[in-house]
Amino acid sequence: MKRTLHVGAALIDSSGTPQENLERIAQQARIAEAIGVEVLLFAEVALHGYDYEVTSEQVAALAETVEGESCQRLVAIAAVHNVTLMVGMFERADGVFYNSHVVVGPQGILGVQRKHCMAPVDEEAGIVRGPYERTVFTFKGVRTAILICADTGIKDRYGLMARQGIDYTFIPTGGGGRVEDYICEADLASDEGMARHVANLPRVFLSKPFDEQSRKHRLGFTATNAMGRAGVNTCHQGHATIVDNNGIIRAQAPGTIIRDHQHDTLIHARLNFN
């Protein structure tokens, strides 16, 4: 029997407080409900913002448990809009801290995936490595897994997915840059400004009609990147992509270094699985 899953990827500016970011998440959940999205992905640490200069003290102040106030708010949002949310956060558990993605459905918290492959910012902030094996989240018979940013480089990635019977992957990322990388729309009037924009496009836009690895392994992905300023010097460019198991790019929202052009948005696609 053919299985279908309507997936979405949301881009939100996570430069606000957790409460403000939750409101942005709720706005995208409302849109998702209106268009029938069943699973909606948000970026790495979308709840708290992913500052490349975050300290261990700041992580300790920001980190929350999956039973805490913010996650309970996510449960309420998911219930009101009948959508499953995948949201990045700094998680506190058993006296240590993780870079985690919590998965919340209309009935409550479904589980959490903790990042395994640490980026330098994670290590310097005292974040603990999560497990190698993936937490499996099954939606309408489709077995899915989350690979948080650097986890796309996990050892034997496609072998691991095959052993765990994964049909599809979700990839929240926090790849960004520095504030000085950015330009404003007025800068495009100059040759230098336009050249900077064009040179940056390969970082934030998939120009090929299909993704070769997804096609080869028949394992597609939905990915979304952090967007907006985080801390003093970090600024994320956004971008979101949905690729099906044939490797076809079904939807895409390019990222940008043009700060004026960054705004919350959502892409979506209805995927078929044999």
Express each pLDDT in 153-187 by its tens digit. 999 999 999 999 999 999 999 988 889 989 999 99
**Amino acid (1-letter code) at residue 22:** L
Residue 211 has pLDDT above 90, yes or no: no
* Pair of tokens at residue 214: 């997804």
pLDDT at 208 over 90: no
Instruction: Select the more confidently predicted residue: 2 or 192.
Output: 192
Instruction: List the one residue out of 26, 61, 2 whose CA is nearest residue 245.
Output: 2
- pLDDT at residue 207, as a whole number: 81
In the structure, what pLDDT confidence band is assigned to residue 63 with cuts at 50, 70 and 90? very high
In this predicted structure, the answer to whether residue 1 has a pLDDT above a threshold of 80 is: no
Q: Is the pLDDT of residue 82 over 90?
A: yes
CB 90 within 8 A of CB 100: yes
Taking the CA atoms of the chain, what radius of gyration do you get in angstroms? 18
Q: What is the pLDDT of residue 57?
A: 96
Percent with pLDDT over 90 in the chain: 89
Can you tell me the distance from the alpha carbon of 252 to that of 94, in angstroms, rounded to the nearest whole number? 38
State the average pLDDT over residues 2-22.
Answer: 96
The confidence score (pLDDT) of residue 32 equals 99
pLDDT score at 2: 85
- Band (pLDDT 50/70/90 cuts) for residue 231 is confident
Per-residue pLDDT, 220: 96
Q: Are 15 and 233 in contact (CB under 8 A)?
A: no
- Domains along the sequence of the chain with CATH: 3-273 (3.60.110.10)
Q: b/e string for 207-226 if b means 16 or more Cβ within 10 A?
A: eeeebeebbeeebbbbbbbb
Rounded to whole angstroms, the Cα distance separating 87 from 100 reads 8
Q: What is the DSSP letter of 74?
A: H
pLDDT of residue 210: 79
Q: How many CB atoms lie within 10 A of CB 270?
A: 15
| Size (the chain), residues | 274
What pLDDT was estimated at residue 214?
87
Alpha carbon separation from 225 to 2, 50, 254 (Å, rounded): 30, 11, 10
Res. 33: pLDDT tops 90? yes
49-70: average pLDDT: 95
Average pLDDT of every residue of the chain: 95
pLDDT at residue 141 greater than cutoff 80? yes
pLDDT digits (tens, 9 = 90+) for 113-135: 999 999 999 999 999 999 999 99
Average pLDDT over residues 247-260: 94
Residue type, 57: E
